[in-house]
Each structure stands twice: as C-alpha cells, then as structure tokens.
Structure 1
Amino acid sequence: MLSVQLHHQTGGGVFFLLPPCYRSHSQQSSTPGAVFSPDMIGEAVADRTIELLRLTNSGTQCWQDWLLFADIFFFLMKSGCIDFLDFVDKLASRVANSDQQILRSNHVTWLLAQIIRIEIVMNTLSSDPRKVETTRKIISFHKEDKSLDANNVGPQSILLDFISSSQTLRIWSFNTSIREHLNSDQLQKGKQIDEWWKQVSKASGERMIDFMNLDERATGMFWVLSFTMAQPACEAVMNWFTSAGMADLIQGPNMQPNERIMMMRETYPLSMTLLSGLSINLCLKLAFQLEETIFLGQTLTQRSPSILSKSGVSLLLLEILNYRLLPLYSFVYPNVVFRYHGKSKALMYDVTKIISMIKGKRGEHRLFRLAENLCMNLILSLKDFFFVKKELKGPTEFTETLNRITIISLAITIKTRGIAEKS
C-alpha cells in the first residue's frame, strides 16, 4: 500500500508526479517508472493521519511517529507532490465519516501548522477562490480541551493546547476574512504567548535564556513560540549556540552573606527532547544560521590557510559530519538541510576528492575510513542518479567499497524510479 510506503520512505526513493498547477513546462511529459499521482499521495497521507489519530486515542505513545510523519508531510507539501486543497477535503471527509469521535487532540492542527508557512499553502489560503471553505475545514480540526490542569501538564500538552491559536492567528495574518471564525479562547492564548515571551525576555535582560534549566511549562511555551514567532526563537537558540557561557553569581566559601563571585558556566548542546518539539520552519532557520556561522566565507581557512593541511583538523571535521550532524538530521527531521536543498551530491563529490588524495597513502588510515564512511552514508541517502569520474582504462575515483555501494544505490533507484530519464 502507498500509505505503508510513505510511512517508511523519506521522499527520495520513489518518483512523485506533481499536480499540474505546481508543474513546470519541462515536466509536462510523463516519465515511466513508479509514478504516484497527487491523488494517491493525498489518499495515503490522509490514511496515515487517521491511523496515527487512532493510535493516539488508544493511549499508545506515538509522538516520535508524529514527528517522523510531519517531516515526510512537510517535504511532500514543499515539493508540490500534494494538492493542498484536495488533501484538506480528503482529511475532512475521513474525520466526518469516522465511526467514533476521532478528534480528541490537536495533533492534526499541529501537523497543518508545520506547513502553514510554505509558499504553496500561503498562496492557496490567501488567493484561491475556495480559501474561505478551506479555512473553515482547517479550523474544524481544532479541539479545545477544557479539562487540562494548568498546574500539571507536560510540554506536548501545552503545545497541542496552544497550537490552534497559533495556527488561526497565522492564517488571519494573510487572510483577514476569517476574523469571524476566531473565538475569545484563541485570542486569549495568543496574548498569553506574547506575555510569556515578554516576561522571559525581560527576566533574562542582556543575558540569554538558560535552556538547560527550562521547566516543562517553559519548554512547551518555547515550542509554541517556534510556531508563532520563529525569528525571536531562532535568535534565542543561536545566542545559546554561540555563547561562551552563562554568567552566574554564586557565594563562595569564607565569604560574607552579601558577597558573590561571578563564574562562567559552560553551555551544553541542546537536548534532543527540546529540539524535537520545535517547528520545522524554525529548524530550517537554525540550519541556515549554523551553516552561515560555520562555513560562510570560509572563515576557518581565511584565518588559518594551512589549517586543513593538518590531519587532526580534517579528522575532527569528518567526525562532526559523521557522528553529529548526519545523525541529528536523521533523528529530528531527516536530512533537513541536505534533502530539501540538494546539498548531498555536492558534499559527496567534495568527500571523494579527499578520498582520491589520500587513497594509498601510508599513515592516513583513520582519515581514509572516516571519509569513506561519510561518502557511503551520502550515497545511500541520495536515492538519485549521479556521475562517477573514471580514467580511460583506470579505476574510478571511488574505492571498491564505494563502487559496490553505488551499484546497490543505483539498483534501488532504477527499481523505484525507472531509467527513462537517464537512459
């Protein structure tokens, strides 16, 4: 079933057919292969949404499943593989025809809030003739839970409780005709988020937010902020990443009661739990900011032109890519930078240059294996055709191991996409 395929694929292993309204002139002719139409994809995504709702209602802990599904959904919508209007119609029909009260939480609203800033979606909700009808259906997915105990809720509960207000106010910002559909609770929750952020900003002053000591309520509120005001949230996280440490005033031994000494407390990487609840839109902003901070203008080589000639630095960079960045993207939002912006192939070619230079050299075994392992991961994540340079009668620039991995990846690509476009 396509719904099963969507559950396990991350968007690159199958060939999707774009709806006519999103298709460029060069894509008008069909390509043989495993072609999934927008209607098929919309059906599968709607089915998976209902399936996850039933799992959630049964008491099963499936937050991680929602996170993975949201990533796939975001990719399909951003790529134009789903007709947004048709998907909303399909989902509304399934909810209406459900044999039980399936909307017991705001997971659907949270899912749609992830894609609300995508250009295709914003254009539809602001200019399409059916925008009012579509907006009403989106708002119909909202579930106001009056039974929440304000003093005993976790981050997920806070996020799901506030997300309907966040989404509705976002739609209102580019479609003022929905003002009549806003209720006082949603407006009040919007004000609560603004007030909370003002208090946090005022309390921290010139200091940054201490992400290591956020309680559950503050974590949930920051998750909501990532949907409503992504830029301030992004700046707060970047301040944490780039800070030298947190300044603390503590009372040392043999000191008077009113005396304090200032100490710098080292900042630590943000927890995966905190990162997992941030909006995909914020994660994209963070990825761009981090990339610019680390690599823009080749700051590292400008400051020290000979630094990359030292094996220790190359080892460190490859270890960061292999064991930190790629697993992070795969755990939170798979390949959030590389897949959405087509950087896997360029990175793979850069790594093969390293492999070509050190292949056969003595004393570079560890560097060679790290580069080869990174290249293997990139080849398997590409799920696309690529060229391999080869001398007239000599070997390719790949190693034997990479050649075998390439053949496997090519076989999977041909099986799922066909060979017409590259034959």
Structure 2
Amino acid sequence: MSANKKKFHFAWLVLLGLCITVGLAKSGLNSSAGLFLPSVSKDLGVGLGNLTLYLSISSIVTMIFLPIGGKLMAKYDTRILLSIAIILQAGSFALFGMMNSVWGWYILAIPLAVGGVIITVLAGPVLVNQWFKQRSGLALGIITASGGLIGAFSSPVIGNLIANQGWRSAYIMVGVAAIVIIVPTIIFFLRKSPQEKGLLPYGAEETNADENKVEKDTSNSGISFADAKKSLAFVLLILFFFIITSVASFSIHIPTYLVNQGYDVKFTGNVMASLMVGVLLGSIIFGYLIDKIGARNTAIVAMCIGLASMLILFFFVKITFAVVLGVGLFGFVSASIGTIAPAITSALFGNKDYSQIYSTVSIGLAVAGIIALPAYGYIFDFTGSYTAVLLIIIVMLIINILFVIMAFGNKKKMVANGLWK
C-alpha cells in the first residue's frame, strides 16, 4: 500500500473549503434573497414583480457567462479567481443595502451573477473532478448537503437581522461577513489541482516501485470540448440539465399548490421542512450511489424517485402523510442538480476539458430558471390549478430517463471512434 493512501489526503481539506465556500454563497446569499423582498418592496414602494426582475436578469447573465467562466476556471489560479468572484457576488449583495431605486438591483444583478457562476455553479464540480479520482460522487453529495445544512442555520439568523436591524443593515452585514469568511477559506484550503501540492488525485493508482508515479494516470483523459460539442450526447446533456432544473423549480410553487388543495399556510410552511430533509438525504445517498452503481444508473434512480413524488402529490394530495412523503421525495430531485448533473458530465466526457464542457452544458440550468418558474405560474393563472403542471413534470421526468440512456449510448460510439484520449 502506498504512503499516499495511508496518509490524510489534502483533497479532503479542499472538500471542506468547498463546503464552506459554496455552502455559504448558496445559502447565505442566493437562497436568502427572498427573505429581503417584502421589506425592500414595502420601503421602496416597488411591486414584487418589478423587484424580482433582478433575479431574471441574474439568470440571463448566468447563461451568458457560464462558458466564459469555464474557460477562466481552466486557465487561471483558483484562489485568485474565486476570491475575485466572491468579492463580486457578496460585494454586490452588500451594496443592495445602499440602493434607493430598483435600478440598483438591476445593475448589481450583473456582478452578482458573474461572481455566482464561478462560486456556486462551477467551483464545486470542477475542483472535485480534479481532486477526486475516487469518491467524487460522495464529495459532490457532501457539498450539496452542506448548503442545505448551512441554510438551516443561516436563514433564521438573516431573518432576525432583517427584523431587528432593518434590511439595509442586513444586506451589508451578510455580504461583508461572506467575504470575511470565504476569502480566507479559499486562500488556505483551495488549490486548482493536486499537482500544485505535488500530489496525485485522491484514489489514483500508484505503482509499488515508485510511489510518486501513477501506473496509468487517466485523471486528464476524456473527450475534447471540440469533439464533445458536436455530439448527440452533448445536446442531450444540455436538455437533461434543463429538464432536471425545470422540475426542481416546482419547489417554489409547492406551497401555493398545497394551499390550493385546502391546506393552511402553517402546514405548508412546516411541510417544506421535509423538502430540506430530502435534499440532505438525497445529496448523500446519490453521492454514494454514483460511486457504487455509476452516474447513469443513479440518474435513472433519481428520475424514478421524482416520478414517485409527483404521482403521490397528484393522486394522494388529500392525505397528510402522503404530502409530507411526496414533498420529501421531491427534495431528492433538487439534490440531483448538485450531485448527479456534474457526475454525468464527467462520466460522459471525462476530465480532459471538463470545466469548459460542464460550464457550457450548464446553460440548460440557467435557461430553465428563466422559463420554468414563470411558466408554472402562468399555467396556474390560466387554469386555476397545477394539474397540468404536474402532468408536464411527469412527462419531463420520463423523457429525461430516455435522454440519459441515449446519451450513454452515444458515448459508446464516440469511444469506439477513438475520440476518448
């Protein structure tokens, strides 16, 4: 057994750094945005519709900047790039507290999204893919779970800050705190690749003759971005990202759906806790399954769990226990975005140009955020129910299973044609 396998691997410190960095950025900044909206809307005399347009602007910027962010991740020092990114994201968040017009939110949505792309979308999958030859699925699951765990603590804290200190002070305090915590974390824990530390990726094969050499290091093998973007698998992966994000977006509408079914607001608020439990459990379970049965099979399992949740909420919505179960299972779908989506990208195209490929196919995530949320709302406005929405989601989940099977079939053809190098 090699010395590296016996000793604690720096990859686990990278994972800890990612949990803090990504978890705080997602839960402390992105997920807390809704807590500020009522107070800001009231004080500035701006309608929620006009105010939340900044979120749509952010999604559009995300879609445009994703391919650029992937190239930057591949080219520049991780610590410098991520430090700049969190200053842009958290700095913009803090500056919201100084704005007196809704135009401030519209303008600051641009640097907010640019920084957010690097920190919350790309950093976790790209660095895990570099540092973990084994247990990469578990690592992605832990990062996703950490976001839910941090959110469980940060949301009430931020809510109390808004109530006691006002939304302006809360924006500034949260933004500055994020920078103060995350920048040192990036500097001390994160590195672009194991080579910077003179290490192999965690789990890489080694020879007995020379512990510093790999017998067959395939950590940078795969299909080039130039070949990948011409493939059917590439298109199907974009569509997979779009569908899974569109499906997960329904979580915003679950409270309205349940109220429409006769439940009171207190119950709907409590039942959403089961969604977070589902995200936490799903993140860990999917991470484990990815390492055991592969990304392809885990993705199919996840889509089936999503189908089960939709069928429960469709046919058994009048049964309280069934609602709690259905919403909890739906949390697994949300967890799949941060675990299965990056793992499928790696499984299909390898590590060769991973950051560019992942950032480009992630456009599907951004487009879904722009389209799905308002679409569900309009369907409810026009029909008076979410019946059509649930049926659409069921169909999309079935389609996604087919897309996964087809994408991996196309991968076999690419490998047979010698494109995997």
Could you say which TM-score interval applies, normalised by the shorter chain?
A: under 0.3
Please give the TM-score of this superposition, normalised by the length of structure 2: 0.25
Please give the TM-score of this superposition, normalised by the length of structure 1: 0.25
Greater helix share, structure number: 2
Pair member with larger Rg: 1
Could you say which structure has the greater relative contact order, defined with CA pairs below 8 angstroms and 6 or more residues apart?
2
